[in-house]
Every structure is written in C-alpha cells, then in structure tokens.
Amino acid sequence: MHLAERIWRESLWQFGNRTMQLLFAINTRIRVVYYHEIPMQGGFILASNHISHFDPPIITPLFPRRIDWIGMSDLFSKRILRGFFTGLNVIPIARNEPDRAAFRIAVKRLREGRVVGIFPEGGIRDGAESIINGAAMKQGVTLLSRLARAPIVPCVILGSDRLYNLRSWLPWRRPTIWIGYGNPIPPPKEAGSRSKDSARQLFSAEIVKLKERLYEDFGLTPADLPHPPKVRMKEP
C-alpha cells in the first residue's frame, strides 16, 4: 500500500469514527459492558446480532480495537461509496451466494492479527428470527473461525432500532443503547460438521445469555428488545 493511500485511509478512519462517536454521544445514551476481557492482541471475529443500519457506526468507535467489517457488496455499487467503504477497510461480500474472495480476504486479515466484524444473521433481524432469541444463523462465522484459526467474540446490541424513529433524534429524547460482549468461542478443532456445529451451538448459547444478562442487569422491558423498523417508525 502506497504512503498516500495509508494516509488517506488513516484520515478517513479517524474522521469517520470521531464524527460517529460525537453524533451518537449527543443523540443517544450508550451503555457498554464487557462481561469478558477483549483480547488486545491477535486476530479474532467480532460477531454481533443485527437490529439496525446504525449498528456498525455505533459499535466501531467505542470498541478498543479497529474493526474490519464484512459488508454487503451493494455498499460498493457507486464509485464514491466504494472509495469510502474501501477506505474504512470494509470487506465486500456477495449477497445470498458463496463468496470465496471475501473469505480469503477475511482469513488473511485475521491471520495478520486484525479484528473482522460480521453479522451472522445475514441481515437485520428481530423477534423469533433473531439469534438473541435462539434463531439459526448462517454458517459463515464458524467456517471463517475454522479457516483462520481465530476465536469468535460474541456481541449483543439492543436499542439502536429506536433510531429509525425521527423523534428519537430530538435532543431531549436520547434513547438508550446497550452493548454487551461475552466469552470468546474457540475455533472448531476439526473440519467435520460435528465440530462446526459444536462451535455454532456455543456461540448461539452465549449470544442468548448475553441478551439475558443485559436484560437483567439494566432492568430492560420487552419494549427495549428489537422491533421491526416499520414498528419503530410509528412509535409516539
């Protein structure tokens, strides 16, 4: 990578993250809980539930390490957007089909000791379709973990879906957002389906437990759990 490109990427990263951090600090109340220490060295996968388009810019500035998110290739459809997301080290992945090129890039970055962020639900989910309620997830996260020999750090975010309601951006509203990080899941030891299923079950159980701990520790109610964007938009 040329010096000019490194400077451009660093400047974009600093500007983007500082801007997002300030924006959400002014308009929301964010509560972050580390139920397990985040590894400060070595590569790992940060795997989170996904309840709104605001999740990545909320999680990234507050995380103690830089995250290279895996994002849908649709984000790269326009030249300006492609330059923006490339500058932020986002890894494009094809929608609804295997993408070996994206996996190779992600594995390479994990082996270099970087953090790769992924939403294993494959899209925004709520209710019974969400992994925080025990729903099935895509197999990509455990496959990536095995190929890169990288652990999976579970993350649960709640409350960001309220930002779909324009009233939530009023200065006196400031909805609360909760983020919890759980116990790292070691990579599958073998290539067999039984090993991958075991890792996936451990991750699924940890995600559900994280949601329950946030629910209990902060005295949350069903209204605080994820709702469809259309429902949030109509709330008073």
**Residue-wise pLDDT tens digits, 184-229:** 999 987 665 566 578 889 999 999 999 999 999 999 999 999 999 9
Tell me the pLDDT band of 231, cut-offs 50, 70 and 90.
very high
Q: Which residue shows structure tokens 């990509």?
A: 140
> Taking the domain 3-233, which CATH number applies?
3.40.1130.10
Q: What are the DSSP calls for 4-59, one per residue?
A: HHHHHHHHHHHHHHHHHHHHHHHH-EEEEEESSPPPSSS-EEEEE----TTHHHHH
CA–CA distances in Å: residue 103 to residues 21, 119, 232: 29, 14, 34
pLDDT, tens digit, for every residue of 142-156?
999 999 999 999 999
Rounded to whole angstroms, how far apart are CA atoms 168 and 173?
6
Q: What percent of the chain has pLDDT over 90?
A: 75
Mean pLDDT of 71-100: 86
End-to-end C-alpha distance for the chain, whole angstroms: 50
pLDDT at residue number 6: 85
* Rounded Cα–Cα distance for residues 106 and 110 (Å): 6
